[in-house]
């Protein structure tokens, strides 16, 4: 069985989403020495919203800035 979520500072936004959906999903926190801005674009809805709630997931991108302190900036619908 995976470890319970203990640290909200997950890496890719995927993990934040997973944390909300499945409480017992294991997460991974990494430490980078420098900040890195990652634009994460996927053809489906990485936030895990119900189909009826989302508009056009293909056009949605989720932009996040990652630093050693975790996610500090999020944009979407780019």
34 to each of 16, 37, 38, 65, 72, how far by Cα in Å? 21, 10, 13, 11, 13
Element (H, E) at 62: strand 61-67
By CB under 8 A, tell whether 32 contacts other proteins: yes
Which one of 4, 7, 42, 69 is in contact with other proteins (CB under 8 A)?
42
Which one of 8, 36, 68, 72 is in contact with other proteins (CB under 8 A)?
36
By CB under 8 A, tell whether 28 contacts other proteins: yes
Element (H, E) at 21: helix 13-21
By CB under 8 A, tell whether 51 contacts other proteins: yes
Yes or no: say if 4 and 24 are a contact pair by the CB < 8 Å rule: yes
Q: Which residues bind other proteins (CB under 8 A)?
A: 2, 11-12, 14-15, 17-18, 21-22, 25-28, 30, 32-34, 36-45, 48-51, 54, 57-58, 61, 63, 73, 75-78
């Amino acid at each position: 069985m995976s470890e319970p979520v203990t640290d909200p500072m997950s890496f890719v936004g995927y993990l934040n989403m997973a944390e909300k959906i499945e409480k017992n999903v294991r997460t991974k926190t990494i430490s980078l020495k420098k900040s890195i801005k990652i634009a994460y674009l996927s053809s489906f809805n990485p936030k895990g919203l119900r189909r009826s709630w989302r508009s056009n997931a293909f056009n949605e991108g989720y932009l996040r800035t990652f630093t050693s302190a975790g996610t500090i900036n999020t944009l979407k619908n780019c």
